[in-house]
């Protein structure tokens, strides 16, 4: 539907739009900009869903008119970083895949733990399960493959790595991410507001717990 400063707007049926961004930084800027515009009453959308390289707007009354308006907006990079909250996740670093991660990273296990503790992560987006945040912040060379065969059950609170992301399993589920630790923090609670701790844009530290 058009290209604007490296961001392209793609059509998604009768009620939605997909902002296709150049990189995760641009995704975060647009996510923050669109949430802000919606809160200010300048944008009508039932859902604004960031992902790895895109932002989806769903429940949009008039996608074409909305696309034209978005084309005239420039996301403000300053408000993005200034308003983000920080969540400290107390983490016990005893994951059974730590030696495997150490081998991929060409470090010792204590060095891996130190890197993870020192990294400032950010929730890039949620998916897979309610409250599961994809955390970015590790350098690209630290990307790791998933296990060839997923574990049938990864316990709730498991801190794990896959691809360029870190993540924490909010509930027990099958999973192929590499386990580096665990937390007792409840990540998703339907009686809390908001129900998820790791909302998009939130800064995260995996501190020793």
Identify which of residues 112 and 200 has a Cβ nearer to other proteins in the complex.
200
Give the integer Cα–Cα distance in Å for 28 and 200.
8
* Residues 165-194 close enough to bind other proteins by CB under 8 A: 170-172, 183-186, 188-194
State the binding string over 30-49 for other proteins (x if CB under 8 A, else -).
Answer: ----------------xxxx
91 beta partners: 208
154 beta partners: 173
Collapsed DSSP state (helix, strand, coil) of residue 164: coil
**Strands laid side by side in the 121-126 sheet:** 86-88, 203-205, 121-126, 133-136, 165-168, 158-162, 178-182
Taking contact as CB under 8 A, which single stretch among the options 36-44, 85-93, 102-110, 195-203 is the one that binds other proteins? Answer: 195-203
Q: Is position 68 an interface residue for other proteins (rule: CB under 8 A)?
A: no
Identify which of residues 109 and 176 has a Cβ nearer to other proteins in the complex.
176
- Min. distance of Cβ 31 from other proteins in angstroms? 8
Give whole-number Cα distances, 207 to 99, 105, 116, 119, 178, in Å: 20, 20, 8, 10, 18
Burial letters 136-164, b for 16+ CB under 10 A, else e:
bbbeeebebeebeeebeebebbbbbbbeb
- Two tokens, residue 193: 């507001």
Q: Is position 162 an interface residue for other proteins (rule: CB under 8 A)?
A: no
Q: Which of 36, 56, 73, 90 binds other proteins (CB under 8 A)?
A: 56
Q: Is position 90 an interface residue for other proteins (rule: CB under 8 A)?
A: no
Identify which of residues 137 and 200 has a Cβ nearer to other proteins in the complex.
200
Q: Applying CB under 8 A, which residues contact other proteins?
A: 10-16, 18, 20, 46-56, 58-59, 125-132, 134, 155-157, 170-172, 183-186, 188-197, 199-200
């Amino acid at each position: 539907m058009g290209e604007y400063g490296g961001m392209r707007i793609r059509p998604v049926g009768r009620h939605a739009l997909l902002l296709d961004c150049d990189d995760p930084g641009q995704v975060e800027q647009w996510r923050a900009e669109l949430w802000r515009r919606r809160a200010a009453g300048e944008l009508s959308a039932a859902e604004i869903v960031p992902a790895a390289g895109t932002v989806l707007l769903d429940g949009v009354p008039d996608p074409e008119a909305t696309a034209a308006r978005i084309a005239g907006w420039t996301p403000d990079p300053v408000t993005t970083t200034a308003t983000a909250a920080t969540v400290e996740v107390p983490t016990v670093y005893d994951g059974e895949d730590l030696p495997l991660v150490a081998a991929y990273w060409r470090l010792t296990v204590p060095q891996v733990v130190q890197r993870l503790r020192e990294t400032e992560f950010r929730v890039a987006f949620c998916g897979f399960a309610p409250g599961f945040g994809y955390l970015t912040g590790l350098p690209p060379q630290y990307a790791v493959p998933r296990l060839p065969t997923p574990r049938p059950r990864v316990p709730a609170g498991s801190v794990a790595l896959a691809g360029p992301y870190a993540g924490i399993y909010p509930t027990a589920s099958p999973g192929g991410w590499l386990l580096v630790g665990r937390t007792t923090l409840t990540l998703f609670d339907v009686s809390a507001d908001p129900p998820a701790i790791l909302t998009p844009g939130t800064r995260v530290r995996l501190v020793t717990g």
